[in-house]
């Protein structure tokens, strides 16, 4: 069930060209911008790859292609942070997988920890936050902060929020595919 690196690259380069929900960029542009922000911040290669792949589940979720053809906001959460994991498990280490799994919870957590965070979210991200359960309670946020890779997840989340700029220049996908190969547990066969 795990994807090869070539299959991940094909998803990003093919279906990744589709619009990223109701944002001004494609899925691929969003992924590249997120990875570029992580790289510019001096993150580890694993965190850069997590930033690149954090929304891969949107490309794998059933029905998302049809949903993206409409201008209507989603009526339910697609749980994309979990959908990608079985396809990436065995391919990447926890340092890649956990920030992907936790990036939605990180958004909920940041709403509880940072009073101004909500105001920084795009309208589409505010809508999805409501579908994802809304802000965490203070107790939930404290529990989240004790989880392994919580800090990395919060940083990936912040890059995610900033990675929605139309026509922003980034390194090409090939640059990040090399980084994926550097941290992959198995090479494509």
User: H/E element holding 166?
Assistant: none
What average pLDDT is seen over the chain? Answer: 88
Exposure of 29 in the CB half-sphere (CA atoms within 13 A):
16
Tell me the torsion sign for CA atoms 86, 54, 9, 35.
negative
**pTM of the predicted structure, to 2 decimals:** 0.88
Q: What is the dihedral of CA 132, 63, 159, 188, to 10 degrees?
A: 130
- CATH T-level topology, domain 5-183: Hypothetical protein af1432 (1.10.3210)
Q: Which residues contact 108 (CB under 8 A, 6 or more apart)?
A: 129, 132, 133, 134, 135, 136, 140
Distance in angstroms (rounded) separating the CA atoms of residues 93 and 166: 31
* Res 188 pLDDT > 60: no
Q: What is the pLDDT of residue 145?
A: 96
Local confidence band at 63 (pLDDT 50, 70, 90 cut-offs): low
Distance in angstroms (rounded) separating the CA atoms of residues 105 and 103: 5
- The residues with which 26 forms a beta bridge, in sequence order, are 19
Local confidence band at 22 (pLDDT 50, 70, 90 cut-offs): confident
The most confident of 42-46, 84-88, 123-127, 135-139, by mean pLDDT: 42-46
105 vs 62 pLDDT, higher one: 105
Local confidence band at 130 (pLDDT 50, 70, 90 cut-offs): confident
């Amino acid at each position: 069930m795990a994807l090869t690196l070539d299959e991940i690259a094909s998803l990003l380069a093919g279906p990744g060209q589709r619009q990223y929900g109701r944002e001004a960029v494609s899925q691929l542009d969003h992924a590249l911008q997120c990875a570029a922000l992580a790289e510019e911040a001096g993150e580890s290669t694993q965190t850069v790859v997590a930033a690149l792949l954090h929304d891969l589940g949107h490309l794998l979720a059933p029905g998302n292609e049809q949903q993206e053809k409409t201008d209507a906001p989603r009526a339910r959460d697609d749980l994309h942070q979990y959908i990608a994991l079985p396809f990436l498990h065995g391919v990447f280490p926890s340092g890649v997988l956990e920030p992907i799994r936790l990036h939605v919870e990180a958004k909920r957590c940041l709403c509880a920890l940072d009073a101004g965070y909500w105001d920084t979210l795009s309208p589409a991200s505010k809508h999805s936050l409501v579908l994802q359960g809304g802000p965490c309670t203070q107790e939930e946020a404290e529990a989240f902060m004790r989880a392994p890779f919580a800090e990395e997840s919060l940083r990936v989340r912040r890059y995610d929020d900033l990675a929605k700029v139309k026509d922003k220049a980034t390194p090409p996908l090939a640059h990040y595919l090399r980084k994926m190969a550097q941290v992959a547990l198995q090479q494509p066969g």
